[in-house]
Amino acid sequence: MATAIRVVAALNADVKGAAADADYVLEEAVRKVAQLAAGGRD
């Protein structure tokens, strides 16, 4: 759960301007959270 929260926090910062491509950042965050939900690790 803590890892998912960190992913979402980073997503929030990136979408608000820290990343060059917000669409890519969102896609990558969804991928990471899905992997965590499936029982995977970082």
List, for the chain, all residue ranges whose pLDDT scores fall below the cut of 50.
none
Residue 1 pLDDT: 80
Residue 8 pLDDT: 85
The answer to whether the beta carbons of residues 25 and 19 sit under 8 Å apart is yes
Residue 7 pLDDT: 85
Distance CA 4, CA 27 (A): 14
Residue 38 pLDDT: 92
Q: What is the pTM of this model?
A: 0.65
Residue 15 pLDDT: 80
Residue 20 pLDDT: 82
